[in-house]
Chains A and B, each alone.
Chain A
């Protein structure tokens, strides 16, 4: 194949996409008139395009896009809260009697050598905690035990394992330690029922919990939890913070983006409730509400947005 021929061969896909200049197209058409090999080549590429054109390439399902959005919001909120999460966990552990390092090390070594011997160091019932929250500690449980390598000639061996201590606390909803645990459960509860009950516990409080972690956890749950019930309960709980601008912003986000139309209605009703209590949206939020009035698919939501604005329709 000559260099010239190779040049024309490379132009063939571009010809079909209309990516050639006028001069290039004329040159190629002239070449195609004389070269059967290139004619076969371009016919083959046409057949490829024809095959691909016959395959339906629908847009990705809307549900998957919504899932992707929720996952992103959760990841974003997690990234923004990362330092607080670390403090939350540290605070959670610090609220209770800390394990003394020397005892832990000794206990873990003996538990690794003999499970029965380990149990005698940590009897059931644990120690009493003289705090507002009562703490009960269960037996230390060893899981995921692995031997790392073989025993050396010096008689040393490495053993790796996870040591898990189940814990249970009981205390008043007004206890900051309990509130930290609830905040953690709202976001990290393994099943929706746990997250729902945690959010519901906040709703049931007589006054809004002052802990910032609780409010942040509720906002995260309201805008990113996958479960409709959890998002609804988080919205209810957040009405305990009517004066908080960020909460109103989060409610607006729910109106704009929640995939469940019933929840968008609940959110706009919540916004109306706040307005009735005297908490007026600021200029930026008013702009968003105008957008909702104009664009929301639900007539009810648009009508509610209009009543919140209280503006005359022009």
Chain B
């Protein structure tokens, strides 16, 4: 049990970060985290070392994200990184004055909300591919391996996701 705790502690930060980025809800991220770790605990005895543990863990995390059903209601939804979350984290966003132009380096809370909404408007697979490629920096080959699909499929998801993000955010671009 001690060894399992150690293994988990070494990798769990990455799991939580991906879950948080994907769902943008603290409660949903914790749910995903718990589900992933429980699956790892159950599956560890059968883990055959055909891949690295981190790769296996990443695949489980992605699959759980994709099948997760949010239990957050819109009236209680608190995004992880927003001024409203009130956790005083280093990611607090400054509110600029109303005269700031579109090229201003400061991003206001409203912009962040639009981006989050645009991401949430993508289908689960589109959102996952976009998150893994754009925010996590995984290659298309790695993403295809994780999602157990072809690179061509991943490219298609990425193309559609990019186009939809541009459509959703056209007023900000």
Contact = CB atoms under 8 A, between A and B. Distances in A.
A55 B133 contact: no
A64, A67, A257 — most chain B CB neighbours (10 Å): A64
Contacts of B17: 59-60
A165 B150 CA distance: 60
Interface in A7-41: 10, 13-14, 17, 19
B9 A45 contact: no
A244 interface: no
Contacts of A261: none
A240 interface: no
Interface in A58-86: 58-61, 63-65, 67-69, 71-72, 75-76, 79
B115 A68 contact: no
Interface in B1-26: 1-2, 5-6, 8-9, 12-13, 16-17, 20-21, 26
Nearest to B119: A52
Given A56-B107, A257-B9, A17 B90 contact: no
A285 B17 CA distance: 30
A101 interface: no
A71 B81 contact: no
Interface of A: 10, 13-14, 17, 19, 44-45, 47-49, 51-52, 54-61, 63-65, 67-69, 71-72, 75-76, 79, 246, 249, 252-253, 256-257, 284-285, 288
B29 A68 contact: yes
6 shortest A-B CB distances, which residue pairs?
Answer: A58-B91, A60-B20, A68-B33, A47-B173, A68-B30, A13-B162
Nearest to B15: A68
Given A17-B133, A249-B2, A256-B5, A56 B81 contact: yes
A51 B29 contact: no
A44 B90 contact: no
Given A44-B173, A68-B16, A72-B38, A60 B29 contact: yes
A56 B93 contact: yes
A71 B34 contact: yes
A218 to B, nearest CB: 15
Contacts of A64: 16, 20, 26, 29-30, 80, 87
Nearest to A246: B1
Contacts of A19: 139-140
Nearest to B88: A61
B91 A57 contact: yes
Q: Chain A's interface: helix, strand, loop or mixed, by majority?
A: helix
Given A48-B165, A58-B91, A65-B16, A13 B173 contact: no
Contact of A52 (B34, B41, B87, B134): B134
Nearest to B80: A60
A19 B144 CA distance: 13
A75 B32 CA distance: 13
B21 A57 contact: yes
A3 B125 CA distance: 25
Interface string B63-98: 000000000000000001100010101110100000
A218 B34 CA distance: 22
Interface string B97-122: 00000000101000110010000000
14 contacts: A10-B155, A48-B173, A51-B111, A51-B172, A55-B112, A56-B91, A60-B16, A64-B20, A68-B16, A68-B29, A76-B41, A256-B5, A257-B5, A285-B2
Given A10-B155, A13-B158, A64-B80, A55 B111 contact: yes
A256 B81 contact: no
